[in-house]
Amino acid sequence: MRPSVLFVCMGNICRSPLAEAAFRQEAQRRGLEIEVDSAGTGGWHAGDSPDRRAQAVARRHGVEIGCYKARQVKLEDFRRFTHIVALDRDNLADLTALRPSDATAELMLLLDTVEGRRGKSVADPYYGDDAGFNVTWSDAVAGAKGLVERIEANL
């Protein structure tokens, strides 16, 4: 089965779209063809574009995410994707509870792929200022690099 990754945060307008963008950029840089998407455990932003601050930080790093649309995690995602990557421990717990018995996706935290950051969460920048989105982007890039390396090692 070809690798596929779903990044998940709470509302799918800040952290998970940035992780999706950083991962797409890293996979493309390495020449890997991997299906990538993002979703939220909650559905209140479904159909919305990412937060304007998330769009701005991605754009500064050469990635346009304004076309992304938020969606909520579906049970079929646990069979469709090989990896479901939570951005924090709370969302990982929600995904673990939601996970159907026939799920095939590996559940993990994004920062589990970063040396010295195993078990750590990516901070939610939503209620903070623009600087928080820069930190989130840095974490997303570090996690994306680690996850691409992990996937490459298992091909």
- Output phi, psi for 36, to 5 deg: -135, 140
Are 41 and 89 a contacting pair, CB within 8 Å? no
CA-angle at 122, arms to 5 and 142, nearest 5°:
65
Catalytic residue among 15, 37, 51, 139: 15
9 is catalytic: yes
Radius of gyration of the chain (CA): 14
Q: Which positions ≥6 away from 17 have C-beta within 8 Å?
A: 7, 38, 50, 54, 58, 65, 68, 70
CA 23/CA 133 separation, integer angstroms = 16
**Do the beta carbons of residue 35 and residue 24 sit within 8 Å?**
no
Tell me if residue 15 is catalytic: yes
Given 37, 51, 124, 139, which residue is catalytic?
A: 124
Contact 77, 84 (CB under 8 A): yes
Active site residues per annotation = 9, 15, 124
